Structure 1
Amino acid sequence: MKITSELFHAYLKCPTKCWLRSSDEPGSGNAYADWVKAQNDLYRAAETERLVAMSPSDEVASSPEAERVKSAKWSLATSLAAQAKMEAWDVESELHAVERVPSTRRGKSAQFIPIRFIFTNKLGKDDKLLLAFDAFVLSKSQGREIKTSKIIHGDDHFTLKVKTSAQAGEVRKRLDKIATLLSSPTPPDLVLNRHCAECEFQARCRKIAIEKDDLSLLAGMSAKERERHRSKGIFTVNQLSYTFRPRRPLKRTKHPAKPHHFALQALAIRENTVYIHGTPNIPQCKTQVYLDIEGLPDRDFYYLIGALVVADGQETFHSFWADTMADQTVILAQLAELACGLTDYCVFHFGGYDRMALQKSAALLTGAARSGLESILKCSTNVLSLVRPHVYFPTYSCSLKEIGKRLGCANLKLETTGLQSIIWRTEWESERNADWKAKLVDYNRTDCLALRKLTEFILSNMASANPRKEDGANVKHTKEIQKTHPRWQMFASRDYALDDLGHINKCGYFDYQREKVFVKTHKQFRGISDSRHKGKRHNVRPNKFIDLVLKKCPACMAKKLQPTTARCRYLIDLKFARSGMRRAVTCTSCWSYSCAGCGGTVSAHRNFSTQQVYGHDLMSWCVYLNVVSGMNMLKVKKCLEDFFNLYVPRAQIYRFKTYISVQYDALDCQLLEAMTRSPVIHIDETTVNLRGQSAYVWVVATMDLVHFFYRPSREAHFLTEMLKGFSGVLV
């Protein structure tokens, strides 16, 4: 068995692809995969020629023998084929280039640095692992450790040094898995993933997945969720469709979660019906702008912007094209100018790519163009964020192509994807042929039309809950599922095919009554259960007693007072000492008196409360455990019960933070005042998630002081008032 770099790279993308390549399975071809291979080959040839030109001719070797590498005198070798024999398999790789660095110390061997050429500007984890595989093979073949390697990539010939010795363990784990995979005569379980779009076996795998009705057909379902369904005996999309149950959202939740229900997606496919779940909140304006931006993600270059403007039923398509990177700001300014000429408009886009492009581009512009893009961002709506949780089409994914095809957009072609547009743009840059540009503009316009079709479909169906048929698609609301199958039918009597089955069910129901219902109704068992659920109270003896007495009546000043009743209040606290800490409970009694002079009833303390009070030291200790030690308040509550036999209500222990924060208000002001006198202040913020809502924690720091505080947004206008009087340097 031989594991080559091609098989290793295929395994990083998909185990099934690795097995098929090792079995010499013919692929149906993939335009993007062929284009990537051609680009890598061209880049490798160009970079090899560049490195050879930079090195002395007598120090360059082409395709040297691996057996003579140790005694070689060259400083650069290209196309070095290395192979090594492992325990049960062989590894082989053709290294793009190897740099030989002679040792400066006497008796030390030269160091070899493998080099791999990759044409992309951005690298991923798989690229580094593939380089680590090259270093692993060279290390085993030469019997010496390869510590570092290089990746030369991108248009600017950027060189990235990778510490491949640290990744040798990861490479070895992958090789063990590949060896186990290739030793099996049958392919692994088929799982469709994101790499399928650029794989030559895409048609084969998708055909098999559709025949098996595999769960991986549902795009976006994680491997963990698939395993969870399989553990319950759910292996197909059809089986999953029977598990959906409409749930009512919690009324008290401020920001309820909006997940994508794959069971409802499967139900939509099974019944060939579009389901509306909840109410999509989509804005309505007089003018609608449907935006689609095409770009090259590897270069962060946005070369085509399509804007379909619909006003009073009339549509106008605007296309902005950039020939070079320098023209990118020009087309963005043209888009901003178009937006400035519109009033009462909404911008719709599909996915986060368009919004991200506008956010990055806004930083490149100034003046009116920048404000125009910012106004577009404020009025923009991501239609995908509405479709995914609320609108379920009978499609395997939420892609615009599949949904648009389902809604009757005849011009959409499923095989024409964003990857294909990258190829067209590259061909246009090399040939400057108008046909490639026309294809891209038409592709962009078709996406805008499909987005309009989808948005109008949602607008026309989000208010109504009655079943109907529109554009060939049956539309229903998930509330109708509950009406179709009433819950009372679950408890109705059943008709069994055999009398024995009915008898078995009756006996099973009797056992349930005996084990569950009897325990809840029996007096003795019920008493035990009730005692466990009673609220726990403090059962501690006070360490100190204080009596509040009154010697004379405050009304008539008479001294003849007769004590009548006493009210008690407990102060629960902790006392700290050098040797440890202990519980301290103080009982304060307040007496009420009957005055013989005026006949009135007076109290030793006018506003005496019998409410239980917790001391400052106790609250400080609880907050310290929560903030400094990282314990949540429920664990702190458990510590109080275990260590001091103190039972603090859950709601009360959370109020300790509020009390402590009030105590430190004065210190907070002093801290900020001291910071304003510092010559340098550093400020930063980071995102936090509070009950499903994003907020920000800001930090202000000097050389010896640090101040954290909470803000609901990233807007920094409050710093003007906070740092009033500061005259130093703000970083």
Structure 2
Amino acid sequence: MEASDTLLSAAILRAFLKCPTKARFLALGKSPQETYFSDVEAGISSTYKSRAWRMLHDRGELVAPATFEQIADGDGSATRWFDCDTAVCDLALSQRGLAEPRAQKSASGGRVVPVLFSPWEKPVLSDSLLVSFGARSLSQATRTQVETGILVYGDNLRRKTIRISDHAAQLNRVFREIGSLLPGGRDPPLVLNAHCSVCDFWSKCRGVAIEQDDLSLLSGMTVKDRSRALAKGILTISQLSYGYRPRRRKRTKPDAERAARSNDAAHTRPPAKHDNKLKALAIKSGRIHVVGAPAIKLEGVPTFIDVEGMPDRDSYYLVGLRFEFVGGPAEHAFWADGPEDEQGMWEDCLRTLKSIGNAQLVHYGAYETRFLRTMKKRYSSEPDEAEFVDRLIGSSINLVACIYGSVYFPTYSNSLKEVARHLGYDWAWPHASGAASVLMRKTWELSAVSDVKPLLLAYNMDDCRAAAVVADALTRICAGGPSAPDSVNVGSLEVGFQRTFGKFDSALPEFSKINDAAYWDYQRSKVFVRTDKSVRRTVRKSERRRNISGVEKEITIDDTPANCPKCSSTKLWKYPPRRSNIVYDLKFSRKGVKRWAVKYRYGQYKCSECHAEMTFYKRELMYGPSLRAFLVYLLIELLLSNRKAAEHASLLFDLRLAKSAVGQIKSEMAEKYTPTYQHILKQIAGGNLIHADETKGVVLGGGHYVWVFANMTTVAYVYAESRESAILENLLDGFKGVLVSDFYAAYDSVPCPQQKCLIHLMRDINEDLNRNPFNEELKAIAGRFGALLREIVETVDRYGLKARHLGKHRRSAEGFIEHVAGMNCTTEVGLALKKRIGRNSDKLFTFLSYDGVPWNNNNAEHAVRAFTRLRNVINTSSPKGTRDYATLLSIQQTLRYRGHAFLEFMRSGEMKIPE
């Protein structure tokens, strides 16, 4: 790759932050057919910079612009600002880093500062990245490290200092992604986005997308939805349309109060979720598709309103009104030259609305209602005026709410521009869009170009007229009739691929009797019982078992259905006799625990029309929840094996309980409480302190581990196949608290403050001393370490783990680290201890700077002992079995840490552990 292929300009980076495809075009030197928006943005930037330099000089500030050629020169008499828009960076050099950095030249040194000028009032992330990019470019040019940059923004030239290090990692990620777009790279996937409306390459990209029938044309389709479709092999809108299946809508009772409201469609939530497949079908067929029966009620005088504003300063500058008046439509526009004229614009608009009489506002989108609420809050202090605005808001109609989920136009989006153009209306301004109007308003504010204001006034009124066209079309669609636009009621579409059910249509009466005699129950009870002795014995034995089964209670379920749930037929056959299901459970009382067996008798039915067989009683599990909770209590709390737990429960409560049944119950309970276990993990990862340790698991064959994570109130056990650090990266991703652990190197991979267990270190030093009693190097380190730790422990015993009291030991701790680092150790054991302390110097006394962080890992070791006691009972297990034990033991230990009973929690059925 040539050197020029790795050069990245600020223009390409700015484009990439908006659209990778645009960045690719600029990197390859491709030009759009017209440069309308590029010229507008360049004019805004140039005018703002010229104005900014004039204002800076008028204020007497000693700053001057600096180019690449001037960076190496100068006497430093004035701070020079390097324009980040002119920056160029070599990606290859950026990846290698700076070589031989010299003294820093930054804002603090008064030499050269990377500066970005932004005419907008609100800084965004891309501004900070561009400043960081300018700093990176300046660093490459001067072989220095630039630590800060400046963002100059807004009409008043406000300044924001950007710390380059805060955005270095993100800028590096952008560099890696953008490197493949430079010459010699590959084209990125074409994805249309919100920036397309103010991009000169819009027509080219849209043409390619339409030719490919690309899914990104559907603006209502999220990135996640597109990814799911692509995973299924759905690449085009046409393919997506074939996936639509009309579904029967739920029947809902009419709400009298809601029906009484004059504008039901505008005030209620969308009737259905937006269906991208139905949207694709509408586009493919070129017809409007209507779901349900949308309604739009226009009362009073329909007044179409459209508002234009500047989002970066939360202000409004133009309001357009259009309504029917005597002799034809009346159109009014209210303009504000600046934020100081906003109140006058609002008062003029409000005066006109009052003069209409019974005005009912009709708008496209929620922007107008937000405008009304904002104006009321800012300027309508009189009660009568505020009440009038509330009435306008309450009776207003949002056409988007009427369309969403109900009316699917054959357009790629529900934007006013696309829908109105489909209905035959077009704008005089060919580049009309909300984002483009913001650019034109900024152009007018900076340069007062004479033809911009009439352009915006005409655009605003075109929006009002377009909203009237859409409202008229919706009214005709809802009313139906020959004058309605070509539309399809989705309810009339044929539902394909649906399985049909029906009764056996016998041509002869004999066939019907033969069909009835072919059922399995009939043959077994009427035929095989007479011919097969084993079947006869089985049937008699089962009948005898049903008769002699000892139960405490019998319940007959009255579940006779009114009709068939599949075909709605009321002719149902009932199978005699009733079926039964016995549930064995325990009943707890103040006097003790007893067995509680309940037999449920229920019926089975068959539809005479569609022959569908049905049972409306949901068959209960053989063992009830209290018995299941008791068995888990025996396994986890009392540490009994599966066999012992089965014997214990069977003997106490006269149950036929097999060892395998206990194992199955344990597995099912672990699965049930998996959400509780996941919540425990989230609580630990989201806390301020974690104690971590690991121990061997109990999987047959060995080599498996259980990791323990705990804090003062929560414990989690996590099964893993190895001691690799990957599990720490997954579970503790985003953890910003303090991690307390032993000296196992895997914990160092967690990017957070860490505290090593000083008890571990003390015991290791003590062991080394016992083995080497005459090693003076060990004695020196051990003596100094013991004295320091004794003083710290005395402070902890007196004041607790409070940083304000422990902070007085920081100087002594630093002195101990420096002393050990400066020792000249010659013995092997002394040198190993010196290296160990030096390697963990920043992790030995972290607790001195934090409240509530202990200096030992006893909390995790206590949790480990709980698992080792259980491990001795488990003996051997499978990976799944170990995971089940880890889930249940995590809940049991967390409850114990919080002072709650494990058995009571399991019996309660609660899924959330109390605090």
Bucket of the pairwise TM-score, normalised by the shorter protein: 0.5 to 0.7
Cα distance, 1:416–1:489 mapped onto 2, change above 3 Å: farther
1:20 shift after superposition:
0.9
Partner of 2:460: 444
1:205 shift after superposition:
1.0
Partner of 2:412: 396
Q: Can you list the C-alpha shifts for 1:517-568, whole angstroms capped at 9, x where unaligned?
A: xxxxxx99xx9xxxxx989653477783499xxxxxxxxxxxxxxxxxxxxx
Is 1:43 aligned with 2:55? no
- Alpha-carbon distance in 2 for matches of 1:654, 1:475: 52
Is 1:25 aligned with 2:30? yes
Supply the AA of the counterpart residue of 2:139: S
Partner of 1:271: 285
Is 1:243 aligned with 2:255? no
Partner of 2:223: 223
Is 1:8 aligned with 2:13? yes
Q: Can you list the C-alpha shifts for 1:101-152, whole angstroms capped at 9, x where unaligned?
A: 456xxxxxx7854211111112222121111111222234444433322100
Structure 1 unaligned residues grouped into runs of 5+: 93-97, 104-109, 492-522, 528-532, 548-569, 575-579, 584-623, 661-731
Partner of 1:590: none
**1:161-560 pair list within 5 angstroms:** 161-182=161-182, 184-250=184-250, 258-310=272-324, 315-341=329-355, 345-365=359-379, 366-367=381-382, 368-409=384-425, 415-422=431-438, 424-425=440-441, 436-464=452-480, 470=483, 473-482=485-494, 485=496, 487-488=498-499, 538-539=585-586, 544-545=591-592
Cα distance, 1:487–1:433 mapped onto 2, change above 3 Å: same
- Matching residue within 68, 71, 77 for 2:72: 68
Stretch of structure 1 that moved more, 379-388 or 331-340: 331-340
**Equivalent pair of 1:75/1:99 in contact (CA under 8 Å):** no
**Equivalent pair of 2:24/2:182 in contact (CA under 8 Å):** yes
1:50 shift after superposition:
3.7
- Alpha-carbon distance in 2 for matches of 1:251, 1:641: 45
**Equivalent pair of 1:145/1:165 in contact (CA under 8 Å):** no
- Alpha-carbon distance in 2 for matches of 1:127, 1:272: 42
1:249 shift after superposition:
4.2
Q: Can you list the C-alpha shifts for 1:270-326, whole angstroms capped at 9, x where unaligned?
A: 111001113335343132221111223333332221222347996433332334433
Normalized per residue, the structure richer in strand is 1
The sequence identity of aligned pairs, in percent, is: 25
Corresponding residue SS for 2:181: helix
Structure 2 unaligned residues grouped into runs of 5+: 98-103, 256-268, 503-534, 543-579, 595-625, 631-635, 640-675, 684-883, 893-901
Supply the AA of the counterpart residue of 1:275: H
Cα distance, 1:438–1:3 mapped onto 2, change above 3 Å: closer
Supply the AA of the counterpart residue of 2:203: A
1:371 shift after superposition:
3.1
Corresponding residue SS for 2:378: coil
- Alpha-carbon distance in 2 for matches of 1:538, 1:147: 70
Q: Can you list the C-alpha shifts for 1:316-344, whole angstroms capped at 9, x where unaligned?
A: 33332334433321232233334445565
Supply the AA of the counterpart residue of 1:176: R
Partner of 1:600: none
Supply the AA of the counterpart residue of 2:227: E
TM-score (norm 1): 0.63
1:363 shift after superposition:
1.4
Partner of 2:870: none
Stretch of structure 1 that moved more, 158-167 or 369-378: 369-378
Alignment RMSD (CA, Å):
5.0
Supply the AA of the counterpart residue of 1:220: G
Supply the AA of the counterpart residue of 1:487: Q
Supply the AA of the counterpart residue of 2:50: A
- Alpha-carbon distance in 2 for matches of 1:572, 1:188: 56
Q: Can you list the C-alpha shifts for 1:628-669, whole angstroms capped at 9, x where unaligned?
A: 9999xxx9xx969986678989xx857999xx9xxxxxxxxx
Supply the AA of the counterpart residue of 2:416: L
1:223 shift after superposition:
2.0
Corresponding residue SS for 1:544: coil
1:441 shift after superposition:
3.2
**Equivalent pair of 2:82/2:113 in contact (CA under 8 Å):** no
- Alpha-carbon distance in 2 for matches of 1:15, 1:362: 42
**Equivalent pair of 1:3/1:90 in contact (CA under 8 Å):** no
Cα distance, 1:469–1:430 mapped onto 2, change above 3 Å: farther
Corresponding residue SS for 1:21: helix
Q: Can you list the C-alpha shifts for 1:226-262, whole angstroms capped at 9, x where unaligned?
A: 1211111111111111111122345589988732212
Partner of 2:126: 126
Supply the AA of the counterpart residue of 1:462: C
- Alpha-carbon distance in 1 for matches of 2:426, 2:108: 65
Partner of 2:733: none
Stretch of structure 1 that moved more, 172-181 or 307-316: 307-316
Cα distance, 1:229–1:53 mapped onto 2, change above 3 Å: same
Q: Can you list the C-alpha shifts for 1:36-93, whole angstroms capped at 9, x where unaligned?
A: 1111112123323444555677x7574364773698554224558766655477999x
Partner of 2:260: none
- Alpha-carbon distance in 2 for matches of 1:433, 1:60: 29
Cα distance, 1:288–1:195 mapped onto 2, change above 3 Å: same
**Equivalent pair of 1:336/1:372 in contact (CA under 8 Å):** no
Partner of 2:601: none
Is 1:34 aligned with 2:50? no
- Alpha-carbon distance in 2 for matches of 1:301, 1:136: 36
Corresponding residue SS for 1:364: helix
Supply the AA of the counterpart residue of 2:591: K
In terms of Rg, which structure is larger?
A: 2
Stretch of structure 1 that moved more, 24-33 or 79-88: 79-88
Q: Can you list the C-alpha shifts for 1:488-526, whole angstroms capped at 9, x where unaligned?
A: 5899xxxxxxxxxxxxxxxxxxxxxxxxxxxxxxx99xx
- Alpha-carbon distance in 2 for matches of 1:141, 1:286: 68
**Equivalent pair of 1:84/1:91 in contact (CA under 8 Å):** no
**Equivalent pair of 1:64/1:77 in contact (CA under 8 Å):** no
Corresponding residue SS for 2:424: coil
**1:566-715 pair list within 5 angstroms:** 653=909
1:478 shift after superposition:
0.8
Corresponding residue SS for 1:363: helix
Corresponding residue SS for 1:291: strand
TM-score (norm 2): 0.51
